[in-house]
Amino acid sequence: MYREEMASNTFETIEVTRSAGVVSITLNRPERKNAINQVMWNELLANFHEIGQSAADRVVVLTGASGDFCSGADLTGGGAGNPDKHQLASMRHVGDVALALARLPQPTIAKVRGVAVGAGCNMALGCDLVVASENARFSEIFAKRGLSLDFGGSWLLPRRIGLHKAKELAFFADIINAAEAESIGLVNRVVPDVELDAFVDNWAQRLAQGPPIALAMTKRLLNNSMNVTLEEALDDEGLSQTVNFSTKDTGEAMKAFVEKRDPQFKGN
């Protein structure tokens, strides 16, 4: 059912490993605090597209190498755009990466140590769940660089923390610590740094053992919840449950309940 654990050596700026249905993507430019250059944008986009089409990949963990998550776009190394392209076309490419992350049917977890600022902050917020080390620091740094929000921040922030708090973070571009990020709802959990890996591994394994179709349906319903009426949401729930009841996984769950055992979900 699952691909054997393996690491890819074909990428210049990221590391990708797979184990028991969990795909781990590590941003790997530690000399720049994992700032995103053009190569990384391209490699992330290609991997998000591949994962989105894979039945073997059950959950995605996104993290950074060497103690930092991501310091945003590399403004000194082509991360803000391709000089040979129109600036709007370059930014639309960045938007394509954000959209590919959002469109993944699998649950996604951001595992955050150190800095997560600018596009790096919004990449973390673009994941379904955010788990931070107590040493994590977050910032919508854009205004201090003479820029406005990107990588979905204008859409993500108000939905995470409310409009007025979103404006505060965006206007002042302050750096906030993990405790404040948790208190305003920017992250799901903050744990001691020594416990971060084990905590995220546990969440990822639990999700990987869950029903893939039902989780994908639930993710879609929740992501759409602020854009639809109650009547539309109820109709969408009805359609989703109709699909679920036609799957073997739901039958397996019912059988496992009667037999007092854990279900073994296959994704069909």
- Given this model, what pLDDT does residue 84 score? 74
User: For the chain, what percentages of helix, strand and coil (3-state, to nearest 5) are there?
Assistant: 50, 15, 35
Provide the percentage of residues in the chain whose pLDDT is more than 90.
90
Q: Are strands 129-133 and 115-117 parallel, antiparallel or unpaired?
A: unpaired
Say what the pLDDT of residue 114 is: 98
Residues in the chain: 268
Per-position b or e across 60-73, b if 16+ CB within 10 A of its CB: bbbbbbeebbbbbb
Q: Is the pLDDT of residue 126 over 50?
A: yes
Q: Specify the pLDDT at position 82.
A: 61
Q: Is the pTM of the predicted complex or chain greater than 0.75?
A: yes
Average confidence score pLDDT of the chain: 94
Q: What is the pLDDT of residue 150?
A: 98
Q: What is the pLDDT of residues 59-116, one digit of tens each?
A: 999 999 999 999 999 988 655 556 677 888 889 999 999 999 999 999 999 999 999 9
What is the chain's Cα-based Rg? 19
- 134-172: pLDDT as tens digits: 999 999 999 999 999 999 999 999 999 999 999 999 999
Q: Which residue has the tokens 């053009």?
A: 38
pLDDT of residue 1 exceeding 60, the answer is no
Residue with tokens 């938007």: 95
All structural domains of the chain, each given as residue ranges with its CATH number in brackets, are 6-208 (3.90.226.10), 212-258 (1.10.12)
